[in-house]
C-alpha cells in the first residue's frame, strides 16, 4: 500500500476531454471479444502493420525430426529477431525455446497421426486448456480436415478448443489441411476457411490460391498463409507478397524459412514484406544483398 504521508489531492480530471479508449480493435472480427482475447491477439498481430510473421516449426508432431529442424535449440534463437510468433508443440517449446523470448506463442494442440499413416486426417485435441494456460499460449492451433475422412473429429476438436478458448480467453487458430486427395481450389479454400470461422476460430491458417482476395473477403477473421513445400527463395517471396497483397494478415511459414540455406536472411526478407510493404522484387533484392554481405 502506498505511503499516505504527503498524498496529493486528485484534481486533474480533464472533464472536457472525451474518454480516450474508444477505438475499434484492429484485428478483423475481434471487436466484440473479451479484453483477454484481444490482448492475446495483440501479441500475435502487430498493431502498426496489422500483420504477423509466424514461424512454423511444429512439423515434428507428425514428421518427427524434419530436415532443417534437427536442432531446434540452435535454429530458433537465430531466427527470433525476425519472428513475431512461434508456432510449435509444447514439447518443442518447453525443451528447446527460451521462455524469455518475448514472442507470441501459437501452440499446436492437436495430434494423433504420423507420416507412416496413409490417412493423416484423424487427430485428437491433445493439450488440456490448463496446460495451454500454463504455457501462456496466445492461440491454440487446431488442424482441420474439411472433405477428408477425419472431418467430423477434426471439427469436433476445433469446437472443443473454441469452447475452452472462450472460457479462458485464448484465441483459436483453425488450420486448413490439404491432403493428397484434397482439392486446392478457390472453392475449397472458401468453403474451408468460412466453415472454420463460423465454428468460432479467431484466426485461419490456410494456403494461397487463385482468387485469394475472395477467400479473404468471405472470411470474417484474419487469414495467415502457410508456406508449404520448399520453393526457390524468389518464388517463396512472391508467394508471401501475393498473400499480403491479397489481404492475408501474415505468413505462417516453415520450410521456406528453415530449409533455406540462408534462413536468417530469408526470414528478414519475409518480415520486410509483411511489415514494411516491400514488394517481392524489393524483398528479393534485400535477400540477395544480405547473403552477399
Residues forming contacts to ligand R5P in the complex (CB under 6 A) are: 56, 58-59, 87, 143, 175, 177, 226-228, 252-256
CB of 64 to ligand R5P, least distance (A): 13
Q: Which of 28, 103, 205, 272 is catalytic?
A: 205
CB of 93 to ligand R5P, least distance (A): 14
CB of 27 to ligand R5P, least distance (A): 21
Residue with Cβ nearer ligand R5P (33 or 127): 127
CB of 75 to ligand R5P, least distance (A): 13
- DSSP secondary structure string for all residues of 62-122: HH-S-TT-TTHHHHHHHHGGG-SEEEE-HHHHHHHS-GGG--EEEEE-EE---TT-S----
SS3 150: coil
SS3 249: coil
Residue with Cβ nearer ligand R5P (175 or 215): 175
H-type alpha helices, the chain: 35-44, 60-63, 72-79, 90-96, 129-134, 151-168, 186-198, 212-217, 233-245, 255-258, 263-276, 280-291
Radius of gyration, CA atoms only, the chain:
20
CB of 266 to ligand R5P, least distance (A): 12
Contacts by 152-155, CB closer than 8 A, 24 or more apart: 153/122, 153/123, 153/124, 154/110, 154/121, 154/123, 155/195, 155/199
Other CB atoms within a 10 A radius of the CB of residue 39 amount to: 13
Residue with Cβ nearer ligand R5P (46 or 256): 256
Q: For this structure, is 39 an active site residue?
A: no
Of 72, 44, 40, 79, which is closest to residue 58 (Cα–Cα)?
72
Residue with Cβ nearer ligand R5P (33 or 72): 72
Residue with Cβ nearer ligand R5P (43 or 113): 113
Q: Which residues are catalytic?
A: 205
Amino acid at each position: 500500500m502506498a505511503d499516505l504521508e504527503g498524498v496529493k489531492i486528485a484534481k486533474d480530471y480533464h472533464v472536457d476531454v472525451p474518454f480516450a479508449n474508444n477505438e475499434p480493435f484492429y484485428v478483423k472480427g475481434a471487436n466484440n471479444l473479451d479484453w483477454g482475447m484481444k490482448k492475446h491477439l495483440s501479441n500475435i498481430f502487430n498493431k502498426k502493420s496489422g500483420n504477423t510473421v509466424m514461424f512454423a516449426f511444429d512439423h515434428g508432431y507428425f514428421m518427427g525430426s524434419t530436415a532443417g529442424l534437427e536442432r531446434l535449440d540452435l535454429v530458433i534463437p537465430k531466427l527470433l529477431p525476425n519472428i513475431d510468433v512461434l508456432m510449435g508443440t509444447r514439447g518443442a517449446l518447453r525443451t528447446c525455446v527460451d521462455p524469455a523470448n518475448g514472442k507470441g506463442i501459437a501452440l499446436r494442440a492437436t495430434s494423433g497421426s504420423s507420416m507412416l499413416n496413409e490417412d493423416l486426417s484423424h487427430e485428437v485435441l491433445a493439450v488440456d486448456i490448463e496446460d495451454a494456460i500454463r504455457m501462456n499460449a496466445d492461440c491454440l492451433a487446431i488442424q482441420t480436415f474439411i472433405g477428408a475422412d477425419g472431418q467430423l473429429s477434426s471439427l469436433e476438436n476445433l469446437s472443443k478448443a473454441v469452447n475452452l478458448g472462450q472460457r479462458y480467453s485464448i484465441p483459436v487458430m483453425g488450420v486448413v489441411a490439404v491432403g493428397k486427395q484434397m482439392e486446392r481450389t478457390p472453392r475449397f479454400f472458401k468453403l474451408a476457411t468460412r466453415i472454420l470461422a463460423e465454428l468460432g476460430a479467431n484466426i485461419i491458417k490456410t494456403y494461397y490460391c487463385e482468387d485469394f482476395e475472395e477467400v479473404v473477403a468471405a472470411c470474417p477473421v484474419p487469414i495467415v498463409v502457410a508456406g508449404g513445400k520448399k520453393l526457390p527463395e524468389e518464388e517463396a517471396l512472391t508467394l508471401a507478397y501475393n498473400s499480403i497483397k491479397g489481404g492475408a494478415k501474415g505468413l505462417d511459414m516453415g520450410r521456406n524459412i528453415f530449409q533455406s540455406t540462408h534462413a536468417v536472411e530469408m526470414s528478414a526478407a519475409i518480415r520486410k514484406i509483411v511489415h514494411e510493404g516491400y514488394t517481392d522484387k524489393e524483398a528479393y533484392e534485400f535477400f540477395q544483398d544480405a547473403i552477399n554481405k
